Amino acid sequence: MTVSVEKPLLAALREALPDGAVLTADDQLDLHSRDSAPFGEAGRPLAVVRPGTVEQVREVIRAARAHGVPVVPQGARTGLAGAADAVDGCVVLSMVRMNRILEIDPANRLVRCEPGVVTADLAAAVAERGLCYPPDPASWEVCTIGGNIATGAGGLCCVKYGVTADYVLGLTVVLADGEVLRVGRRTVKGVAGYDLTRLFVGSEGTLGVIVEATLALRPPRPPARALLARFPSASDAGEAVAAIVRAGHVPSALELLDRTTTEAISALGHPLFADGGAATLIVASDAPDAAADVHAMAALCRDAKALSVTAAAGEEESAEVLEARRMVLPALKARAATLPGEVTAFIEDVAVPRDRLAELIDRIELIADEYGLYISTVGHAGDGNLHPTVVFDRSDPDAVRRAKEAYDAIMAAGLELGGTITGEHGVGTLKRDWLARELPPRSLRLQRDLKRLLDPEGLLNPGKVLA
Amino acid sequence: MTVSVEKPLLAALREALPDGAVLTADDQLDLHSRDSAPFGEAGRPLAVVRPGTVEQVREVIRAARAHGVPVVPQGARTGLAGAADAVDGCVVLSMVRMNRILEIDPANRLVRCEPGVVTADLAAAVAERGLCYPPDPASWEVCTIGGNIATGAGGLCCVKYGVTADYVLGLTVVLADGEVLRVGRRTVKGVAGYDLTRLFVGSEGTLGVIVEATLALRPPRPPARALLARFPSASDAGEAVAAIVRAGHVPSALELLDRTTTEAISALGHPLFADGGAATLIVASDAPDAAADVHAMAALCRDAKALSVTAAAGEEESAEVLEARRMVLPALKARAATLPGEVTAFIEDVAVPRDRLAELIDRIELIADEYGLYISTVGHAGDGNLHPTVVFDRSDPDAVRRAKEAYDAIMAAGLELGGTITGEHGVGTLKRDWLARELPPRSLRLQRDLKRLLDPEGLLNPGKVLA
């Protein structure tokens, strides 16, 4: 970046945005240079801008374009694939100030909001009106709706309630040329023309900047009942998952913890993990007959050789069981604290057909052995979506190398088992090369054609999703 | 079409396809010249081809392209918007022979099939394996999966189970250049790259020809309980719908019949319609506690001034209530039989936000009066999706003119109430001009750009969706 571009662009941005909305201090540039991916190729932004209106977003994009400078949209930077990492000399377009809920419409069960709304805030606001916004990515207490949509985020309850994409009725998007595009609808159904809404969901800010969303809501979820079952092996737990699916249950959570995770939580002295075992299943039901549903699923777990099954008797016990799922991160942090160096936990994301899950867990255990790594795997078993978490010392170049190689090996295993390189975290920069291995050439070409159609100059979040 | 094109193209098609797969007899050309839309601009095809393999589809597309001849894909021709109408001199690509179910995978709750499978056959085949494919367009006993996907078809149970689009996990598509594109996945979740699958759903054969689909399945639906309520006005019925939604019920069907329809069924002497009334609500629940659910919804209907409420006591009575919904077409046919001329019933499709439904029904009654037409309106009230059916004499030019004008007036009313010109029937040729009125200019431009990107020569189903 030469000064000849930098100065007039900053001047243009400062003119377009009110005081304090253009940040150039070092600490702000540092803070906004990367999301939560561990191996990013994050560059250094020229400036961070925090617009408050659609018009300001348009001005920023027009100004950046006029100077040939890339724009990187950002939400809460909780993404795990590098999609919100800055590129050198870019303008980071932080959407966090555009965080208004514009409308809650109970009669039509929908909400209209700006992209910077925190997911938990949206969920709380609609709950106050007797409605529910189900998508619950792990970072839901801090991540933003815009980021959820841009990455196509999932969560725990997808197994029953679907992913973020399933709730997006309509979007307002600022395009690379600064024009405003409205796609989708307010009606429940609609097939007027090609589905442009879904094109932007999961596009990671590479096709346009989401400035408003219309989201479908649901009636409130009934209280959940839960069970926790311990198994001698991941395969046995996998059998239980298969039996639950075959029997037609639709649990509201169906989480599998592998041996490493199970041991890490046991080590914290959690009472439900006292019985040993090599794999744990945590299952919830919020069906109207949840108690009976859980009872029946508990029996299926016993049939699948569970070492122990704890079916919660009431709401309080259910909360305790579900709390065990949230022990995963504290348990890994406790484990990390025992390791030397600058220890980091990197959460991977891969999805396979549901019936290949146990196989993938076994493969990941072998990969952990092969690369001498500590890998703890937790999975949305009902979706076939696994999150192997690699705990390693990022100050140790050899550990970093092994972690990266293991990451590649896990994705290769996922593809080999008929799966996808990402179930819910997205492609970003981390999986860009892998996308080219997953997609057939013609499909990849069409992806590139679409990017070129919507962003011919390649200034919107360049290098993300596609190389 | 000059002979110079016709002869070599027919020769190429006959070489590519086995005996009997290239039809040029007049009766076949007539039969395949139009779908079920009443005011189509149907042209006359040069030939109808019925390929049996993906390779044959590719050969047809390559041959047609080499001769600059358009290709119009067709399923069962049950579409109501003209999307499968032939254009003059085209090759009609009938997919009905590609009707194999390739795989049913209960462990992953999915089915893979060719596009020509009849929806009811698919539903029956997966039911035998203990699974359910919910989408139920009215023509489900004859329409094809490929047509359902191409039009983005809906149905009665969408209010609870979603539309066809929600079940499409992956597609294989032959593109305009004859290449094969695979999009989507077999996993429950997946966000690898832009969502190309949804781009083809509802694209009405204008972007590519669907040659294979991977569809999500569900556990079987429990038996439904139903209720039928009669109201003094559509507004009162609309109030009941709003109350049902507000109370958090998720019925598996929520159908509203207007005064004209109610009277037509009464005229057939149906016992449930003996009490008079100006609007009827038919509601079903297949919740695990269906009886209690129906009981609670019945109370809400009574609160909304229902003249009578019949809550079915068991499965048999429920079937009788739901049968009443299927009386709509026989009732209209009986009505048509009393009219002179070549009487036809044209089923329209418009969707509004759920809370504007009663208003739209009132507007349609006014439109019927204004144009002196018999219009019977039935709606998927839970979705805000109405089907006004115009019964008119198609041999009477003035009646045809009034029917067309009323059609326009209904769509204008739908848009005015914040709705869409099509909830589930699609655009085809009939709503092409209206699409340009519904979509903002930038969105329409992007639609055209996408068409050009995927079909630069404009040979795939030209004149459909976009002009």
Q: Choose from B157, B181, B194 for mutation: most chain A CBs within 10 A.
A: B194
pLDDT (tens digit per residue) in B4-56: 789 999 999 999 998 789 999 999 999 999 999 987 779 999 999 999 999 99
Closest chain B residue to A149, measured at CA = B191
Tell me whether residues B219 and A250 touch, CB distance under 8 A: yes
Q: Is B82 left (phi over 0), alpha (psi -120 to 50) or beta?
A: left
What ipTM goes with this model?
0.95
Chain B partners of A442 at a C-beta cutoff of 8 Å? 175, 179-182
Instruction: Please give the full DSSP string across A260-326, using - where no structure is assigned.
Output: HHHHHHHHTT-GGGTT--SEEEEEEE-STTHHHHHHHHHHHHHHTT-SEEEE-SSHHHHHHHHHHHH
Instruction: Please give the full DSSP string across B75-96, using - where no structure is assigned.
Output: SSS--SSSTT---TTPEEEE-T
More confident residue, B204 or A268: B204
Closest by alpha carbon to B163, among B173, B171, B151, B155? B155
Q: What's the CATH number for B225-327? A: 3.30.70.2190
Token pair 């100004």 is found at A63
Instruction: Using CA atoms of B60, B65, B66, B67 in order, give the dihedral in degrees to the nearest 10.
Output: 100
A vs B: CB pairs below 8 A: 248
Q: How many residues does chain A have?
A: 467
What was the pLDDT predicted at A18?
A: 82
CB atoms within 10 A of CB A465: 28
Q: Give the tokens for residue A367.
A: 């990969």
Averaged pLDDT of chain B: 94
B249 to chain A, any CB pair closer than 8 A? The answer is yes
Tell me whether residues B189 and A440 touch, CB distance under 8 A: no
Q: Are A33 and A42 in contact (CB under 8 A)?
A: yes
Closest by alpha carbon to B141, among B113, B125, B167, B122? B122
Task: Tell the burial category of A213 from Cβ atoms under 10 Å away from its Cβ (0-12, 13-18, 19+).
Answer: buried
Residue B227 CA to residue B467 CA, distance in Å, equals 44
CATH level 3 topology of A339-416: Alpha-Beta Plaits (3.30.70)
* Portion 143-172 of B in contact with A at CB < 8 A: 151-152, 154, 158-159, 163, 165-166
Please list the ranges in chain A whose pLDDT falls under 70. Answer: 1-3
Helix (H, G, I), strand (E, B) or coil at B150: helix
pLDDT (tens digit per residue) in A35-85: 999 877 799 999 999 999 999 999 999 999 999 999 999 999 999 999 999
Q: Which of B248, B427, B465 sits opposite A220 (nearest CB)?
A: B248
Chain B partners of A422 at a C-beta cutoff of 8 Å? 190-192
pLDDT (tens digit per residue) in B275-288: 778 899 999 999 88
pLDDT (tens digit per residue) in B244-298: 988 989 999 999 999 999 999 998 888 888 877 889 999 999 988 899 999 999 9
Closest chain A residue to B385, measured at CA = A189
Q: Which of A187, A438, A466 sits opposite B420 (nearest CB)?
A: A187
Residue A314 CA to residue A178 CA, distance in Å, equals 54
The class (CATH top level) of B330-416 is alpha beta
Q: Give the tokens for residue A461.
A: 């979040």
CATH level 3 topology of B3-94: 3.30.43
A402 to chain B, any CB pair closer than 8 A? The answer is no
Q: Where are the domains of chain A?
A: 3-94, 101-216, 225-329, 339-416
Q: Do domains A225-329 and A339-416 have the same CATH topology?
A: yes
Q: Which of B106, B189, B249 sits opposite A385 (nearest CB)?
A: B189
Share of chain B above pLDDT 90, in %: 83
Chain A partners of B286 at a C-beta cutoff of 8 Å? none
* Portion 84-123 of B in contact with A at CB < 8 A: 105-109
User: What does the pLDDT average to over B217-238?
Assistant: 94
Closest by alpha carbon to B182, among A193, A446, A351, A454? A446
What was the pLDDT predicted at B136?
A: 93
What was the pLDDT predicted at B307?
A: 93
* Portion 363-382 of B in contact with A at CB < 8 A: 380, 382
Instruction: Please give the full DSSP string across B405-463, using - where no structure is assigned.
Output: HHHHHHHHHHHHTT-BS-SSS--TTTTHHHHHHHS-HHHHHHHHHHHHHH-TT--BSTT
pLDDT (tens digit per residue) in B410-451: 999 999 999 999 999 999 999 999 999 999 999 999 999 999
**The CATH classification of domain A101-216, taken from the options 3.40.50.620, 3.30.465.10, 1.10.1130.10, 3.40.50.300:** 3.30.465.10
Closest chain B residue to A414, measured at CA = B187
Closest chain B residue to A156, measured at CA = B189
The class (CATH top level) of A225-329 is alpha beta
What was the pLDDT predicted at A335?
A: 86
Query: How many Å lie between the alpha carbon of B404 and the closest alpha carbon of chain A?
Result: 19
Q: Which residues pair with A210 in a beta bridge?
A: A173
Q: Where does the pLDDT of residue B326 fall: very low under 50, low under 70, confident under 90, or very high at 90 and above?
A: confident
* Portion 315-354 of B in contact with A at CB < 8 A: 351-354
Question: Which residues neighbour A143 within 8 Å (Cβ) at sequence distance 6 or greater?
Answer: A75, A76, A78, A118, A119, A137, A153
pLDDT at B62 over 80: yes
Tell me whether residues A130 and B421 touch, CB distance under 8 A: no
What was the pLDDT predicted at A2?
A: 53
What was the pLDDT predicted at B246?
A: 87
